[in-house]
Amino acid sequence: MTLTVGQLEEARRALDAPLFADLAGDAQVSFEFFPPKTEKMEATLWQSIETLAPLGPRFVSVTYGAGGSTRERTHATVARIQRETPLAAAAHLTCVEATKEEIDAVAEQYWAAGVRHIVALRGDPPSEGARFAPHPGGYANAAALVEGLRKLHPFEISVAAYPECHPDSADAKADIDNLKRKIDAGATRAITQFFFSPEAFFRFRDAAAAAGITAELVPGILPVSNVAQTRKFAGLCGAAIPAWMDRLFEGLDDHPAARQLIAATIAAEMCRKLYAGGVRSFHFYTLNRAELSYAICHLMGLRPKVGAKAEAAWAAKKPRSFRAKSRNGDNRHASVSRLRSTRTECEHERT
Which residue numbers are catalytic?
A: 32
Max alpha carbon distance in the chain (Å)? 76
Asked whether 296 and 284 are in contact (CB, 8 A), the reply is: yes
Q: How does DSSP assign 297-340, residue by residue?
A: HHHTT---S--HHHHHHHHHHS-HHHHHHHHTT-HHHHHHHHHH
Identify the DSSP state of 259.
Answer: H
Tally the C-alpha atoms within 13 A of residue 205's C-alpha that lie toward its C-beta: 15
Alpha-carbon span 302 to 79, nearest angstrom: 27
Residue 118, helix vs strand vs coil? strand
Query: What are residue 121's DSSP bridge partners?
Result: 94
Cα–Cα distances (Å) from 250 to 54, 265, 267, in that order, read 35, 16, 17
What is the distance, to the nearest Å, from the Cα of residue 76 to the centroid of all Cα atoms in its chain?
Answer: 19
